């Protein structure tokens, strides 16, 4: 069966520090991969998605970037965090367009 791993579960970082959140998927190949952010009590905002290695689509201009160095690995990064980067970050995958989207358990990031 397929599983998605996302880490760390929680993270507290000072303003101006770098960020690296990692997500890996097991049990499938060539998945579509997604990074979402959820502000407290808010909906799901799509940040990036990828349909293949090295292919990244950005949804909103921001302080973050994404990379996909391997087929089942998706990384969310920042060189210098801002207070506004605080939130709940969710990685997700799906096998095909119009198939179910499966989420990881998320990383709660607090920038202080």
Instruction: Give the residues lining the site for another protein (CB under 8 A).
Output: 6, 32, 34, 42-44, 46, 49, 51, 90, 92, 97-98, 100-106, 108
CA distances from 34 to 12, 59, 86 (A): 22, 11, 18
- Could you tell me which of 33, 51, 37, 49 has the C-alpha nearest to residue 89? 37
What sign results for the dihedral spanned by CA atoms 96, 97, 99, 103?
positive
Question: Based on CB atoms, which residue is closest to another protein, 29 or 97?
Answer: 97
CA distance 65 to 79: 9
Question: Based on CB atoms, which residue is closest to another protein, 6 or 78?
Answer: 6
Question: Based on CB atoms, which residue is closest to another protein, 12 or 51?
Answer: 51
Work out how close the CB of 54 gets to another protein at its nearest, in angstroms, rounded to a whole number.
Answer: 16
Work out how close the CB of 83 gets to another protein at its nearest, in angstroms, rounded to a whole number.
Answer: 21
């Amino acid at each position: 069966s397929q599983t998605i791993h996302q880490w760390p579960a929680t993270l507290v970082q000072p303003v101006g520090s770098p960020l690296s959140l990692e997500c890996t998927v097991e049990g499938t190949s060539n998945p579509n991969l997604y990074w979402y952010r959820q502000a407290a009590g808010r909906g799901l905002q799509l940040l990036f998605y990828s349909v293949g290695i090295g292919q990244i689509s950005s949804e909103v201009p921001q302080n973050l970037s994404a990379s996909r160095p391997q087929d089942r690995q998706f990384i969310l990064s920042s060189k210098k965090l801002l207070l506004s980067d605080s939130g709940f970050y969710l990685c997700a995958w799906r096998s095909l367009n119009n198939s179910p989207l499966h989420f990881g358990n998320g990383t709660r990031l607090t920038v202080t």
